Chain A
Amino acid sequence: MKKTHFIFLFGLLTLFTISCDDVMNIDLQGGDNKIVINSIFNGDKNLSVTVTQSMNPYDLKAVRELNNATVLLYENDLLKDTLKYKKNPGDTIGRFYSDVTPVTGPEYKILVKDNLGEASSVSSLPDQTPIVYDSAIWMKWTEVEDTINTIRYYFKIIIDDPEGDDYYYLIISCPVYKYNENTGAYEFYTWQNAEIETADLPQTQIFLRNGLLFNDDVFDGTRKIISGTATMYSYPCCYFAERDEDESDLIIDKSKLHVELHTLSEEVWHYNSSYAKKMSSENNIYSEPTTIYNNIENGLGIFGGENLAQVDTEIIY
């Protein structure tokens, strides 16, 4: 082949394989500056909400606190409390706290007044569906050979589902400890979720942060056995990846397992489902962008209840 022919062909191939990605110039005139109310409340602690303002994501992907807003809590349409703003050390955003601990039965309404206008929402606390404790049997554990120190647990959990539409979120986690230089000891830091897999919920399962979202469409009002695997990665993965901390300061105790079964209100179910959908479709180039479920009138965010059942267990190696 002549040199000129080779150069021509090479140039052609180079053109053919050039990068096909480019930045899009998006020209939107400002965000819509709405009131954002967020609160997923339960029966274990007093109700609190964050109140912020939405912003233009192309200028600065951020939020602005509305700490001067007036936040009112109604129980069955009766004013129950005026919430007070407080920002604890270490909090990203301050919260408006109530003295009210929600209970199952009544309907709760939150109303926020600010210069931006008024926004409100209504929800209630669902009944708890407990885990049948004796059923939380850890059948086996094994190291996963093709990874480093990854542990896979085999589990079986039984719940007695009440009649009616019920929504759940199941997570299995291990405690993570962080070395404290002052005390010279490892102290509890957070929970690390194991990745749950099961074939028992074929039609309804949605994965969110390694946990499992599901509803009772196919087992309404019956005893349901959920078995499967929970895989625990040794090194905290995605939630740690963007942090400054030296990862060697962190250790995970794989012998202790913490099981949480959240019974969700319909609002929280829709919110979590749409959030999971958004997260899972973010890298799906063909998918229509998912709108996060929003139940705030004249605003954005989520206001909904959930109830929590927990089991702690220890694995004997």
Chain B
Amino acid sequence: MVKNVTFVLLFWFVAGYAQTSLLEMKIDIVFHGMTLEKCLHMLEDKSGISIVYSSRLKGLKNKVSKSYKNQMVKDVLKDILSENGLGYKVIGGKVVIYDMKSNKKKVTISGYVYDSETGEVLIGCNVYDQATLRGTATNQYGFFSLTFPSDGIKRIIVFSFMGYEEREVTIGEENISINIRMKSVQYNLNEIKIVAGKEVEKEVVKQTKMSVATMKSAEIKAIPAIAGETDLLKAITMLPGIKQGVDGSSGFYVRGGGPDQNLILLDGVPIYNPYHLWGFLSSFNADAINHVEITKGAFPARYGGRISSVLDITMNEGNNQRWKTDFTVGLLSAKGAVSGPLVKDKSSIMITARRTYADLFIVPIRRAKRSYSDYKITQGYNFTDLNVKLNYRFSKRDRLYFSGFASRDKYYNKEIHLQKYEDTGFNDEINQGEGWGNLITAFRWNHLFNPKIFVNTTAYFSSYRYYTKNLSERKSDRPDEIGEKKNAAEYFSNITDFSLKQDYEFFPTDRHDIRFGLEGIYHKFKPGINTYYSETDNSTVENKSDNNEIPATELSAYIEDDFDVNQWFGVNGGIRFSSFFVQGTGYYSAEPRLNIRIGFSDHFSVKAGYAMMTQYLHLLTSSGLVQSSDLWVPVTKNIKPQRAHQFSAGIAAYSGRGYQLEVEGYYKIMHHVIEYKNGADFLNEDSNWENKVTMGEGDAYGFEFFLKKTRGRLTGWIGYTLSWSNRHFEDLNFGKVFPFRYDRRHDVSVTGTYKINKKWSVNASWIFYTGNAVTMPTSSYITPNFDGTLQGEYHFPAPNTIIGGNIVTSGVLESAPYRNNYRLDSYHRLDITGSYTKQKDWGFWQLIFGVTNLYNRMNPSYFFSSDEYRNYYSKQPAVVYYKRTLFPFMPVLSFRIAF
């Protein structure tokens, strides 16, 4: 294995220089009245170079009579070609002959690429000229446009996409608009050799963009998931540079950034809280996902609004060939997907829905356990999510999409307490609840002005709402009790966006991919409203603490060009202008972006990038962990926009045997990040959230290593991150720098899928990372009561023990020297699942089973100190902390049926 890798690495370096060195080789050669075509063959044989040309080229039949002695091959070539009006270029390791006279004319091939079975668009499908290897990739609507010089060459255009059979289309001198349908070979291992051509895998080397990772729905589903619940947002944390929070919490952390610094787009629409079950699961149903791309740095100009990452999720469009149904039953939830053509080849619809059924079990159990004649309890929790996508093709140039997404979580607790004594008594009723949910709707219109200009217009609405309530009511006919009394406390927050945007994509030549666009967003924030209500027979008290609705407008415009200067050098440069208007204040930003690629061969390139990002929204998190109750708030007069500068550089390599390697280093500086001040809470103390937070700085730097195997029975990757991340706030930690909570020195992830045969496959993943930075006390000391007595002396002279001259009392507290001064134990876990798939005439069924945390590693999800050790009667009391593990050894089981 090591030997093979070494060989391949050597090959990368050698292959790129091969043609160049051959052209500079000196030869002796004589052409005696031969046709030019024969001369070229002779030159090929003599020098070893590979020459490509179209048989239609004029001049190939012309006779050549020349003699060369000790001349370089390139000089010979230039001489015999120029006489016949021809020229040559070295492209993709081959010498390509072209007609210099017709070089200014161009031919364009454009269209869409689909899955032949489902009609779903294929995003990121490689489209390239077989001879020159020059090409492009389909955008998120499956559209491509490729323009070549019309040099008389009959070109073969190859369509290549991982997991699909390659398709070839021959084009001549005329523009072509074509829709390509590609056949999936997912279950045919024997055909693996003809799928996913090397050019697809080389894309990692050839593309200028960097710090990007993509995942398909199948890859997400292949990663073993906790309780068998396939989870996109947990799957992406297997990639280097992306860290998960502690088990059971939501949020992910990219290159030392906070969870609020990630822009999560579903079909181009931002989602503010994509989590169920207080963060245990993401609210994205994997059955609804077509394609996922996450950008961690070196952002192209089309992205903005967050400073750490952009997670761009594209939903399936729905099968436009035939109706398909898919059901999965797991340990936590059941989900289903239905899709099919409304009008074949013109319109399709996709609907997915998921619901947990935990409450179906919990409610009756709780009822049976806790309810008796005068005390009844109803308690439960459930979540649901729904995805709908509809598209209609009006013409070859116009297509309309509707996307809808709704998610909802609800916890409820209702208690009724009846008590009667001597014909009088009371009736207490308590209603408690918590809930949150997203709702998005989007209309998009794709329009082709011509084969080279694609435009997408989007209008969307996005809303996130959180609430919690606590209502109590007492009705009493006791003589000594008030007749009726009500108390209510409610809290809710809400953010709503309305947006209109247009994105243009212009393909003037095969070297340029120019994008430009503009967007306007109207935000409406309700950052936390408390309502208290109390009513008795004698009085009514009502208080409403309204943080006032804050409207804000965000405008942005961008332009970028992905320019392949030549085979070896590419630039993606652009600039984004943004502005934000709130409370009579305007903020403006010009954000330059630049990526460059220097290719040393088809197999190896070096990349570097710089991006400045600005973020006008902040997320108030009260405990360093993302919770549903966290508030999205805008910048204000006092709270400035977050801004980041990120520099990254790295290499990309491809082995030729399905191995891709990416190594990157990055350095990121963040300004105006916010944190709650010490002791502040979102519910209490202060009516104005601005007074509760403080602004500071952050930095992050590190290296990422990513080795991916994309072909064969065994596929998967190894990711490793070495990183540092710090924060600095004047008002926190006494103004000193402290490590970010998710400052993890080492982060390793290994995941693999082995396809045993058509029916069986095994998936495994192992993750390891340095323990989180937490605040741990390093000293114990005593503090006073309000009346000046010491803690523990409050009511009594506190009993105390003297040990070695030291005083042990209940009033001793612990104190940490600075924030996040201690590292928890390292985290690691091995998850394994197996899947059995049975194909049937009507479809297939699949059983997935396995184990999470196979070797039962007790990873700390959180920690706490035990009260028993606070007992000052023990002889030598000391602080003892316990860790709690949320995911020990756990079974995985789910059943899927599709027809």
Q: Quick check: A169 and B781 within 8 Å, CB to CB?
A: no
Q: Mark B780-816, 1 if CB is under 8 A from A, else 0.
A: 1111111110101111111110011111111111111
Contact of A205 among B684, B778, B793, B865 (CB under 8 A): B684
Binds A, one of B13-21, B97-105, B112-120, B887-895: B887-895
Give the residues in chain B near A61, CB-CB below 8 Å: 780, 808, 812, 814, 869-870, 877-879
CA A28 to CA B822, docked complex, whole Å = 9
Q: Mark A125-167, 1 if CB is under 8 A from B, else 0.
A: 0000000000000001011011000000000000000000000
Q: Is B216 an interface residue (CB 8 A)?
A: no
Q: Quick check: B684 and A203 within 8 Å, CB to CB?
A: yes
Q: Is B881 an interface residue (CB 8 A)?
A: yes
Q: Quick check: A48 and B797 within 8 Å, CB to CB?
A: no
Nearest residue (CB) in A for B539 is A227
CA A60 to CA B800, docked complex, whole Å = 13
CA A306 to CA B721, docked complex, whole Å = 53
CA A189 to CA B687, docked complex, whole Å = 40
**In the assembled complex, how far is the CB of residue B773 from the closest CB belonging to chain A, in whole angstroms?**
11
CA A301 to CA B782, docked complex, whole Å = 8
Give the residues in chain B near A218, CB-CB below 8 Å: 687
How many residues on chain B are close to A (CB under 8 Å)? 100
Q: Mark A257-271, 1 if CB is under 8 A from B, else 0.
A: 000001010001011
Q: Quick check: A24 and B685 within 8 Å, CB to CB?
A: no
Q: Quick check: B790 and A59 within 8 Å, CB to CB?
A: no
Nearest residue (CB) in B for A28 is B778
Q: Quick check: A60 and B881 within 8 Å, CB to CB?
A: no
CA A239 to CA B571, docked complex, whole Å = 71
Q: Quick check: A217 and B686 within 8 Å, CB to CB?
A: yes
Say yes or no: A244-B686 contact (C-beta < 8 A), given A24-B883, A60-B877, A62-B808: no
**In the assembled complex, how far is the CB of residue B605 from the closest CB belonging to chain A, in whole angstroms?**
43
Q: Is B28 an interface residue (CB 8 A)?
A: no
Would you list which residues of chain A between 201 and 235 have a CB under 8 Å from chain B? 202-206, 208-209, 211, 217-218, 227
Q: Mark B854-894, 1 if CB is under 8 A from A, else 0.
A: 00101010111100011111001111111111101111000
Q: Quick check: B780 and A63 within 8 Å, CB to CB?
A: yes
CA A202 to CA B539, docked complex, whole Å = 17
Binds B, one of A68-76, A78-86, A105-113, A273-281: A273-281
Q: Quick check: B812 and A20 within 8 Å, CB to CB?
A: no
Contact of A286 among B623, B796, B824, B881 (CB under 8 A): B623
Nearest residue (CB) in A for B487 is A199
Q: Is B543 an interface residue (CB 8 A)?
A: yes
CA A300 to CA B807, docked complex, whole Å = 17
CA A136 to CA B883, docked complex, whole Å = 48
Give the residues in chain A near B774, CB-CB below 8 Å: 289
Q: Quick check: A60 and B803 within 8 Å, CB to CB?
A: yes
Say yes or no: A274-B419 contact (C-beta < 8 A), given A16-B891, A38-B784: no
CA A34 to CA B417, docked complex, whole Å = 53
CA A242 to CA B795, docked complex, whole Å = 12
Say yes or no: A23-B778 contact (C-beta < 8 A), given A40-B785, A61-B812: no
Nearest residue (CB) in B for A176 is B795
Q: Quick check: A52 and B781 within 8 Å, CB to CB?
A: yes
Say yes or no: A62-B891 contact (C-beta < 8 A), given A93-B807, A202-B543, A300-B781: no
Say yes or no: A242-B871 contact (C-beta < 8 A), given A22-B882, A285-B884: yes
Q: Quick check: A55 and B806 within 8 Å, CB to CB?
A: yes
Give the residues in chain A near B638, CB-CB below 8 Å: none
Q: Is B480 an interface residue (CB 8 A)?
A: yes
Q: Quick check: B797 and A32 within 8 Å, CB to CB?
A: no
Q: Is B584 an interface residue (CB 8 A)?
A: no
Contact of B788 among A48, A63, A301 (CB under 8 A): A48
**In the assembled complex, how far is the CB of residue B49 from the closest CB belonging to chain A, in whole angstroms?**
65
Give the residues in chain B near A62, CB-CB below 8 Å: 780, 803, 806-809, 812, 877
**In the assembled complex, how far is the CB of residue A64 from the closest CB belonging to chain B, in whole angstroms?**
5
Q: Quick check: A92 and B798 within 8 Å, CB to CB?
A: yes
Contact of B882 among A24, A227, A242 (CB under 8 A): A24
Say yes or no: A92-B623 contact (C-beta < 8 A), given A50-B790, A57-B777, A289-B777: no
CA A278 to CA B885, docked complex, whole Å = 23
Nearest residue (CB) in A for B863 is A24
Q: Quick check: B864 and A26 within 8 Å, CB to CB?
A: no
Q: Mark A29-66, 1 if CB is under 8 A from B, else 0.
A: 01111101011111000001010111111111111110
Q: Quick check: A146 and B778 within 8 Å, CB to CB?
A: no
Q: Is A183 an interface residue (CB 8 A)?
A: no
Contact of A146 among B417, B814, B880, B882 (CB under 8 A): B417
Nearest residue (CB) in A for B787 is A40
Q: Mark A1-32, 1 if CB is under 8 A from B, else 0.
A: 00000000000100110101111101010111
**In the assembled complex, how far is the CB of residue B478 from the closest CB belonging to chain A, in whole angstroms?**
8
Q: Quick check: B679 and A274 within 8 Å, CB to CB?
A: yes
Nearest residue (CB) in A for B249 is A286
Q: Quick check: B811 and A64 within 8 Å, CB to CB?
A: no
Give the residues in chain A near B395, CB-CB below 8 Å: none
Q: Quick check: A28 and B776 within 8 Å, CB to CB?
A: yes
**In the assembled complex, how far is the CB of residue B253 from the closest CB belonging to chain A, in whole angstroms?**
16
Nearest residue (CB) in B for A277 is B679
Q: Which of A52, A278, A290, A291 has the most CB of B within 10 A?
A: A291
Give the residues in chain B near A55, CB-CB below 8 Å: 779-781, 806
Give the residues in chain B near A301, CB-CB below 8 Å: 781, 783
Q: Quick check: B545 and A283 within 8 Å, CB to CB?
A: no
Q: Is A302 an interface residue (CB 8 A)?
A: yes
Q: Is A91 an interface residue (CB 8 A)?
A: yes
Q: Quick check: B884 and A20 within 8 Å, CB to CB?
A: yes
Q: Quick check: A217 and B687 within 8 Å, CB to CB?
A: yes
Give the residues in chain B near A42, CB-CB below 8 Å: 788
Say yes or no: A18-B888 contact (C-beta < 8 A), given A52-B782, A92-B809: yes
Q: Is A272 an interface residue (CB 8 A)?
A: yes
Give the residues in chain A near B417, CB-CB below 8 Å: 146
Q: Quick check: B883 and A36 within 8 Å, CB to CB?
A: no
Q: Is B648 an interface residue (CB 8 A)?
A: no
Q: Quick check: A54 and B888 within 8 Å, CB to CB?
A: no
CA A32 to CA B780, docked complex, whole Å = 9
Give the residues in chain A near B781, CB-CB below 8 Å: 34, 36, 52-55, 63, 300-301
Say yes or no: A92-B780 contact (C-beta < 8 A), given A142-B480, A202-B532, A290-B679: no
Q: Quick check: B685 and A22 within 8 Å, CB to CB?
A: no
Nearest residue (CB) in A for B733 is A291
Q: Quick check: A278 and B684 within 8 Å, CB to CB?
A: no
Q: Quick check: B788 and A39 within 8 Å, CB to CB?
A: yes
Say yes or no: A22-B883 contact (C-beta < 8 A), given A59-B878, A300-B815: yes
Q: Mark B587-627, 1 if CB is under 8 A from A, else 0.
A: 00000000000000000000000000000000000111101
CA A55 to CA B777, docked complex, whole Å = 10
Q: Is A200 an interface residue (CB 8 A)?
A: yes
Q: Is A288 an interface residue (CB 8 A)?
A: yes
Q: Quick check: B864 and A283 within 8 Å, CB to CB?
A: yes
Contact of A60 among B623, B784, B876, B888 (CB under 8 A): B876
CA A244 to CA B873, docked complex, whole Å = 10
Q: Mark A281-297, 1 if CB is under 8 A from B, else 0.
A: 01111111111111000
Give the residues in chain A near B873, CB-CB below 8 Å: 242
Give the residues in chain B near A271, CB-CB below 8 Å: 783
Would you list which residues of chain B between 526 and 543 have a CB under 8 Å from chain A? 530, 532-534, 539, 541, 543
CA A262 to CA B787, docked complex, whole Å = 9
CA A273 to CA B679, docked complex, whole Å = 7
Q: Quick check: B784 and A50 within 8 Å, CB to CB?
A: yes
Interface CB pairs A-B, < 8 A, 14? A34-B779, A36-B782, A50-B790, A57-B814, A60-B803, A61-B869, A90-B797, A142-B481, A143-B480, A199-B541, A204-B684, A243-B799, A288-B775, A290-B679
Q: Considering the complex of A and B, which 5 residue pairs feature the smallest CB-CB distances, nearest first?
A: A54-B779, A57-B780, A190-B795, A199-B534, A31-B779
Known contacts A24-B882, A277-B679; can you find 15 more A-B pairs with CB under 8 A? A15-B889, A33-B779, A36-B782, A40-B784, A40-B785, A40-B786, A57-B777, A61-B812, A61-B869, A64-B805, A140-B482, A190-B795, A204-B686, A291-B678, A302-B783
